[in-house]
Amino acid sequence: MVAGVVDKSVVNGVLPYSKEASEDVSWHEKGNITGSSHEFRKLQIPNGKPLNSILDAIGGIPMVKLNKIPQSMGIECNVYAKLEYLNAAGSVKDRIAERMVDIAEKSGILKPGMTLIEPTSGNTGIGLALVAAVKGYKCIIVMPEKMSKEKVRLFEAFDRGFEESTMRILGADIVRTPTDADYASPDSHINTAFRLHKQMKDSIVLDQYLNPGNPIAHYEGTGAEILYALDGKVDMVVIGAGTGGTVTGAGRRIKEECPNAKVIAVDPVGSILADPNSKHGEFYEVEGIGYDFIPATLEFSHIDKWIKTGDGESFRMARRLIREEGLLCGGSSGAAMVAAMQVCKELKKGQNCVVILPDGIRNYMSKFIDDAWMVERMFMEPIVRQPVVPKEDHPFKNGLNYRPDEVVKHIWSTLNPEKNECPYNFRPWTGAPNRAIGETSSMVKKFERPMLLNTVLEAIGNTPLVRLNKIPHSAGVKCKYINMGNPLAHYDNTAEEILYALDDKVDMVVIGAGTGGTVTGIAKKVKEICPKCKVEGIGYDFVPTVLDRDTVDIWMKTNDKESFEMARRLIREEGLLCGGSSGANVSAAMKVAKDLGENDSCVVILPDGIRNYMSKFVDDEWMKKRGFLA
């Protein structure tokens, strides 16, 4: 049975700011209580095994202890940041996008071939676009003009594919609305979305502002993960409020197990959430939090205190989180941290405060990351940056003539520490078997991704393998096809993660050879365990000394056009937000993996993400200028 609010409000197109919406929203915090219309999911912690699709990479997000900023401000308690930008599409909104679609499918109101329409400030739309890409739905995103161009390019990558005109025919598009349009205005992104819904047959507005899947995702996921990571010892949680789903769902779950915990909601200056009696909001730059009406998914009963934050202090704090803690977060994360630094002074040493960082830096490269953008808005003073010029007497001046292809090679022949052939100490992956005593991956204790980290450096590694479902099928590849997101790091970590995930059964690995460290390290270890495994390498413009060519069975050449086209397909069809070199690797793999059987496994390394290429192959105009796109 579907929840009444989903059945009545979503299907009937109830406007989220209407009186009817505020009276209808209800959701049960216990999945097994009499009359509950929701079946709650159990907590899932990543276990190192292959994922069926990128949607399975949503959730299971770690927290990291902050070590510099709290101390600089005299904070005595433990402050932990929950890194929600590590979700599949880069934000906390991935959780609700997947859950709202899941509930709608199970209830029967969302059927194959339908179009998803959503009014959003950006991140929910990116999450829905990812879900739509994987599940095969069409998608229309309606968003205010103020949202960043990076977000728009992501939507284009998901929805418009290679030709905008093609996607317009298919019904998928981005609709921009005036930033200053009041929520009740016919021109607002909300009313525009519902108007499109009425005009389009077989469409649905899942409506994050009143859909119970929004708080449910955070009740069963975000809140449960926080409690799990801290063994149920939570004294305070600080959460930015937009639709209210995160603070409502996670706040309720935490208060159930920690009734004395304080739930702090963060609202930007200009928003009315902290003051429901306000009639109209004012413009503010921070994206993703705040609103000019009270969403039905926001429950005030679980909030102990509201903190208002300004644009300038939020962006400056976000830059500090990046520079001092190494957390590549967005502006709303800065707002949450500003609020946390005010209220967690109430806590004592040994108590725990959790701050949710909703999204990452990717969407804001043209905004608060840019010094000129900050200075123009008077959020900071100009910074004079001096160019780095080597001095004549610099002790490393000879290094300026460094030739990486002429340095004496280290001996990597087996990387066996017992033979003392490696000049460095090994640092085995935490889930790796002790192969010296004959253990295999299937024999070791079940691995779980660490959920509490001492620094963000501990978030390096433990990347999942995700099964590709569409592209290999379209290319006639029958093997089990999986991707992964110097030599020593890959020998004792990356390779062991692959072997563990596939129970030591690897038939082919496809790796781009840049410095050669990845292909050398992975190939060495994998071939020790799977001697018949074939290693395919993608070339470089010189031969680095860390590259052991003997580990590579096949060398493949790829060109720019096919690489970028494949990267765009990986984004659009598989929902993998990857870079151009990932496209090169998969393109090459499609040519050679056809030799493998149906039960064989091919692993392709996807080296980096989309963040660094928002102005390159993700942009249609960039592709057209280079003849890569008609």
Last residue of a domain, one of 205, 240, 271: 205
Q: Is 582 contained in some domain? A: yes
| Residue 315 counted as domain residue | yes
The arithmetic mean of pLDDT across residues 60-67, rounded, is 97
Nearest-angstrom CA–CA distance, 102 and 487: 41
Same-domain pairing of 462 and 545: yes
Residue 41 lies inside a defined structural domain of this protein = no
Same domain, 243 and 345: yes
Query: What is the rounded average pLDDT of the residues 169-183?
Result: 68
- Count how many domains the chain has: 3
Q: Which of 68-82, 273-287, 531-545 has the highest mean pLDDT?
A: 68-82
- Per the listing, tokens 């072997």 go with 499
| Residues 166 and 286 both lie in one domain | no
The percent of residues in the chain predicted with pLDDT above 70, rounded, is 81
Name the one residue in this structure whose structure tokens are 């022949």.
413
220 close to 29: Cβ distance less than 8 angstroms: no
Question: Do 149 and 250 fall within a single domain?
Answer: no
Q: Are residues 369 and 474 part of one domain? A: no
- pTM assigned to the model: 0.88
Range of the domain at 164: 111-205
Judgement on whether residues 197 and 217 belong to the same structural domain of the protein = no
Encoded tokens for 462: 């433990």
Statement: residue 547 has pLDDT above 60: yes
The answer to whether residue 196 is domain-embedded is yes
| Digit-coded pLDDT (tens) for 454-512 | 999 999 888 999 999 999 999 999 887 777 655 677 888 889 999 999 999 999 999 88
Inter-helix orientation angle 93-107/123-135, to 10°: 50
Question: Is 295 domain-assigned?
Answer: yes
For all residues of the chain together, what is the average pLDDT?
A: 84
Which residue is listed with tokens 């004959």? 438
Tell whether 504 and 578 lie within a shared domain. yes
| Distance of alpha carbon 82 from alpha carbon 565, whole angstroms | 34
| 295 and 190 part of one domain | no
Last residue of one domain, picked from the residues 376, 409, 425: 376
Same domain, 444 and 469: yes
Distance, first Cα to last Cα, the chain? 48
**Residue where a domain stops, chosen among 185, 205, 225:** 205
In-domain check, residue 481 = yes
Residue-by-residue DSSP string for 598-612? TT-EEEEE---BSGG
* pLDDT higher than threshold 60 for residue 269: yes
Same domain, 129 and 219: no
Residue-by-residue DSSP string for 507-557 = -EEEEE-SSSHHHHHHHHHHHHH-TT-EEEEE--SS--TT--GGG-SEEE-
Q: What is the pLDDT of residue 7?
A: 47
* One domain for residues 200 and 219: no
DSSP lists the bridge partners of residue 538 as 512, 556
Is 97 among the domain residues? no
Render pLDDT for 334-374 as a digit per residue (tens, 0 to 9): 999 999 999 999 999 999 999 999 999 988 888 999 999 99
Catalytic residue set: 93
Please tell me whether residues 476 and 354 are part of one structural domain.
Answer: no
> CATH code at 115?
3.40.50.1100
The DSSP symbol for 368 reads T
Which whole number is the average pLDDT over 296-319?
96
Strands 63-65 and 78-83: antiparallel
Within a domain: 251:
yes
Q: List pLDDT tens digits, range 447-462.
A: 888 999 999 999 988 8
Q: In 3D, which of 522, 481, 472, 524 has the Cα closest to residue 498?
A: 522
Structure confidence by residue, pLDDT tens digits, 562-576: 999 999 999 888 989
